[in-house]
């Protein structure tokens, strides 16, 4: 009984910080060893806590692993807030689509978390216990938000396609494979054989070009839109913040930051 009381008092000193340390150490351990190979003792050592404190926050290894995965997927919630903020600029569907592509491509290429990628590879290799449910909860709603922008553009006569959801998926398909190859082969001759001399800026421009070409109406041009200068400043500021943190659990803080920037306009 005394041991339990001591454990709770220890957690009460700075519970959020202790919990964050545990999640950070668990993420590293799961990235290196997968769920099956991960050890709670190693996570405790990495977080500088005892195993009892881990069980105070997370009942078992499964619960801890699921929370690490949810933390990774929770980054998708940011997409749900994008239309709310874009509305303050009264953007066209083409401009909204540009902003979506800006975030997807630049977050993939500049703010991708290698540990998160490795955990997802392990999750696939070990049977995809949580992958389908988390994809349904986080990724599918994000795709629907993107497709809604495409549908808005179709209604406005800016875009033409019979496949809004496929068009939305096309936004991330190329860049996800590009970044996977960059993770595996970056700096090696094979990467150059696949992509030539292209860099991350070239990849962004390619995605912009290919997406807008794929949505071009048959009877007129569809140009990559100009973006208001003040909005570009906001986009770049948010991107810098994401690159500095590289943490999928900070979306509320990100959007508070967006709000404060825009209120200073």
pLDDT of residue 168: 80
Judgement on whether residues 23 and 110 belong to the same structural domain of the protein: no
222-258, pLDDT tens digit by residue? 999 999 888 888 888 877 776 776 544 444 455 555 5
Say which CATH number the domain at 55 has. Answer: 1.10.10.60
Secondary-structure breakdown of the chain: helix, strand, coil percentages, each rounded to the nearest 5: 80, 0, 20
Judgement on whether residues 111 and 160 belong to the same structural domain of the protein: yes
Instruction: Please state the length of the chain.
Output: 265
pLDDT of residue 139: 80
Q: Which of 13, 36, 59 is the last residue of a domain?
A: 59
Look at residue 77 and tell me if it is in a domain: yes
**Contact of 248 with 113, CB cutoff 8 Å:** yes
Judgement on whether residues 34 and 79 belong to the same structural domain of the protein: no
pLDDT of residue 84: 56
pLDDT of residue 22: 95
Reported for 53-57, long-range contacts at CB under 8 A and 24+ positions apart, including other chains, are 53/7, 53/10, 53/11, 53/18, 53/22, 54/22, 56/7, 56/8, 56/11, 57/11, 57/18, 57/19, 57/22
Judgement on whether residues 50 and 150 belong to the same structural domain of the protein: no
Look at residue 67 and tell me if it is in a domain: no
Q: Which of 11, 27, 59 is the last residue of a domain?
A: 59
Q: At residue 13, what are phi and psi to the nearest 5 degrees?
A: -60, -45
Here the tokens at position 208 are 């912009």
Q: Which of 59, 83, 103 is the last residue of a domain?
A: 59
Judgement on whether residues 45 and 86 belong to the same structural domain of the protein: no
By C-alpha distance, which of 118, 121, 125, 78 is closest to 102? 78
**Contact of 21 with 43, CB cutoff 8 Å:** no
Give the global pTM: 0.74
- What is the block-wise mean pLDDT of the chain (265 residues), using blocks of 10 residues? 42 70 94 94 94 93 94 62 62 90 84 82 90 86 84 94 86 83 86 91 92 92 90 82 59 51 48
pLDDT of residue 56: 92
* DSSP code at position 158: S
Looking at the 3D structure of the chain, how many domains does it have? 2
66-79, pLDDT tens digit by residue? 999 988 887 544 44
Q: At residue 235, what are phi and psi to the nearest 5 degrees?
A: -60, -45
User: 52 is in which domain, residue-wise?
Assistant: 2-59
pLDDT of residue 61: 95
By C-alpha distance, which of 238, 261, 265 is closest to 79? 238
Judgement on whether residues 241 and 218 belong to the same structural domain of the protein: yes
Judgement on whether residues 133 and 172 belong to the same structural domain of the protein: yes
């Amino acid at each position: 009984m005394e041991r339990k009381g001591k454990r709770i008092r220890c957690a009460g000193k700075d519970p959020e910080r202790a919990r964050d340390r545990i999640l950070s150490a668990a993420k590293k351990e799961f990235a290196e060893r997968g769920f099956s190979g991960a050890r709670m003792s190693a996570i405790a050592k990495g977080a500088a806590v005892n195993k009892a404190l881990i069980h105070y926050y997370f009942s078992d290894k499964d619960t801890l692993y699921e929370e690490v995965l949810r933390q990774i997927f929770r980054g998708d919630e940011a997409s749900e807030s994008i239309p709310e903020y874009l509305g303050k600029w009264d953007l066209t569907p083409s401009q909204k689509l540009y902003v979506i592509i800006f975030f997807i491509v630049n977050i993939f290429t500049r703010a991708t978390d290698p540990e998160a990628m490795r955990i997802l590879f392990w999750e696939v290799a070990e049977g995809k216990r949580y992958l389908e449910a988390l994809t349904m909860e986080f990724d599918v709603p994000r795709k629907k938000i993107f497709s809604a922008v495409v549908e808005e553009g179709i209604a406005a006569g800016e875009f033409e396609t019979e496949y809004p959801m496929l068009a939305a998926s096309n936004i991330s398909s190329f860049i996800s494979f590009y970044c996977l190859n960059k993770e595996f082969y970056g700096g090696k001759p094979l990467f150059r054989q696949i992509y030539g001399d292209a860099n991350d800026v070239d990849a962004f421009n390619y995605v912009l070009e290919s997406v807008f070409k794929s949505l071009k109406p048959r009877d007129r041009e569809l140009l990559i839109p100009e973006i208001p200068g003040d909005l570009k400043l906001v986009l770049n500021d948010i991107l810098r913040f994401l690159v500095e943190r590289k943490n999928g659990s900070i979306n509320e803080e990100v959007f508070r930051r967006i709000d404060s920037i825009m209120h200073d306009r």
